[in-house]
Chains A and B, each alone.
Chain A
Amino acid sequence: MATLGSALFEARNLTMKFGGLVAVNNFSLRLEGGELMGLIGPNGAGKTTIFNMITGNLVPTSGNVIWQGEDITGLPPHKITAKGIARTFQNIRLFADMTVLENVMVSFHYKIKASFWHAMLGLNKYRREEERIRERSINLLREVGLAHLAGEKAGALAYGQQRRLEIARALATSPKLLLLDEPAAGMNPQETMELADFVRKIRDSFNLTIFLIEHDMKFVMGLCEWIKVLDYGNTIAEGTPEEIQNNPEVIKAYLGEPKYATG
Chain B
Amino acid sequence: MTKTRRNLILNCASLVVLFGILWLFQEYGTEYQIRILNNIAVFITLAVSYNLVNGICGQLHLGPNAFITIGAYTSALLTMSPTEKQMSFIIKPLIWPLSVIQVPFWISLIMAGTVATVFAFFISFPVFRVRGDYLAIVTLGFGEVVRVLCNALQSVTNGPLGLKGLKPYTNLWWSWSIAIFTIIVIQRLINSSWGRAMKAIRENEIAAQAMGVDPFKHLMMAFLISAFFSGVAGGLLAHLITTISPTLFTFFLTFNLLIIIVVGGLGSTTGAVIGATLFAWGGEALRVVESPMDIGPIHIPGIPGMRMVLFSVILMVVIIFARRGITGRNEFSWDWLLGKLSFGSR
Contacts and interface: CB of A to CB of B under 8 A. Distances in A.
Given A78-B214, A98-B199, A98-B203, A106 B208 contact: yes
A133 B193 contact: yes
A97 interface: yes
B177 interface: no
A106 B185 contact: no
Given A57-B206, A105-B193, A173 B212 contact: yes
Given A96-B203, A98-B203, A120-B189, A109 B209 contact: no
A169 interface: yes
Contacts of A130: 192-193
A106 B205 CA distance: 12
Contact of A81 (B189, B194, B199, B211): B211
Contacts of B196: 98, 102, 105-106, 109
B197 interface: yes
B194 A119 contact: yes
Contact of A169 (B199, B206, B211): B211
A239 interface: no
B210 A95 contact: no
Interface string A201-240: 0000000000000000000000000000000000000000
Interface in B204-226: 204, 206-215, 221
B188 interface: yes
Contacts of A76: 209, 214
Given A109-B197, A130-B193, A94 B210 contact: no
Contacts of A89: 206-207, 210
B213 A94 contact: no
Interface stretch (A6-14, A110-118, A184-192): A110-118
Contacts of A169: 211
Interface residues of B, number: 24
B76 interface: no
Contact of B204 (A93, A107, A110, A122): A93
A47 interface: no
A119 B188 contact: yes
B210 A106 contact: no
A53 interface: no
B192 A120 contact: yes
Nearest to A88: B210
B307 interface: no
A119 B211 contact: no
A151 to B, nearest CB: 13
B211 A94 contact: no
A55 interface: yes
Contacts of A86: 210-211
B208 A110 contact: no
Contacts of B193: 105, 108-109, 112, 119, 130, 133
Nearest to B188: A120
Interface in A116-153: 116, 119-120, 122, 126, 130, 133
A200 to B, nearest CB: 24
Q: Counting chain A CB atoms within 10 Å of each CB, which of B204, B208, B211 scores highest?
A: B211
A77 interface: yes
Interface in A29-49: none
B200 interface: yes
Top-6 shortest CB links A-B:
A110-B212, A95-B203, A93-B207, A81-B212, A119-B192, A107-B211
Interface of B: 185, 188-189, 192-194, 196-197, 199-200, 203-204, 206-215, 221, 329
